[in-house]
A and B are shown apart, each in its own frame.
Chain A
């Protein structure tokens, strides 16, 4: 078969394939259209689901932040600081603390009076 014959054959193949599109029956054509709509709907519903999931995640994150910001912080540090201030302001007690071991010993071995 010459090159011209081959080109003619390939052109005929293209024409036949193109013509075969017209032979698709109405029922199949309808199903092809439905398939396209279903694909678009499926994608749209997936996008909506993604949007809702994103919205839900953002809302949850905001709620967590809000809860954390409204919860009072633990007060252990100010108490410790207050105790130190009180202790320093009362020098008598400071002496007591400094000689704590002595007073404990005194208490244990009470001197005869």
Chain B
């Protein structure tokens, strides 16, 4: 379970260290708050905590990036956008990725291009095998929103990956 949770966090954050931190926080909260619950409840509870931690990470990062823009010095500007540079390392040539059999990288590239909500919905539905109702409960939104996010995510994947993937 924890390996899958780590991958979900890693895809969402695109950062291994942050993903490990999120994973540990989520596991700690599960043990601390819900150890007394029935074992069959742990899975959905853990996903709820994990998604909540990922949302927190996004909010914190958004604020941090805003401050980074405000306090950007001339030296930083000369060096270029650090975040942009990081993103560039991920966006390799899709054809090369396919040729080298790195289909997972192509998939990750598409998944990270989705909005966070679309990405979360898609992963919970496809990978965790959750129903619309379960996904809505984990994401604390309506079932209608889940259907919309999922549909858009599938549409994006269809368009970007195509029939011949992987």
Chain A positions 11 through 51: 1 when the CB is less than 8 Å from some CB of chain B, otherwise 0: 01110111111011000110111011011101100100000
Interface majority SS (helix, strand, loop, mixed), chain B:
helix
If over half of A's interface residues share one DSSP class (helix, strand or loop), that class is named, otherwise mixed; here it is helix
Residues of chain B within 8 A (CB-CB) of A21 are 3-4, 7
A92 contacts the other chain (CB 8 A): no
A33-84 residues at the B interface, CB under 8 angstroms? 33, 35-36, 38-40, 42-43, 46
Q: Is B86 an interface residue (CB 8 A)?
A: no
- Are B16's CB and A28's CB within 8 A? yes
Determine which of A9, A18, A19, A43 lies in contact with B31 in the assembled complex, contact meaning CB atoms within 8 Å. Answer: A43
Q: How many residues of B contact A (CB 8 A)?
A: 28
Does A1 interact with chain B (Cβ within 8 Å)? yes
Is there a chain A Cβ closer than 8 Å to B133's Cβ? Answer: no
Does A6 sit within 8 A of B, measured CB to CB?
A: yes
Which residues of the other chain, B, contact A13 by a CB distance below 8 angstroms? 107, 126, 157, 161
- Among B19-27, B51-59, B77-85, the one that faces the other chain is B19-27
List 10 additional A-B contacts (Cβ < 8 Å) besides A9-B158, A28-B20. Answer: A13-B157, A13-B161, A21-B7, A24-B7, A31-B20, A32-B2, A33-B2, A42-B32, A43-B32, A43-B35
Q: Which residues of B contact A (CB under 8 A)?
A: 2-4, 6-7, 16, 20, 23-24, 27-28, 30-32, 35, 103-104, 107, 123, 126-127, 154, 157-158, 161, 163, 165-166
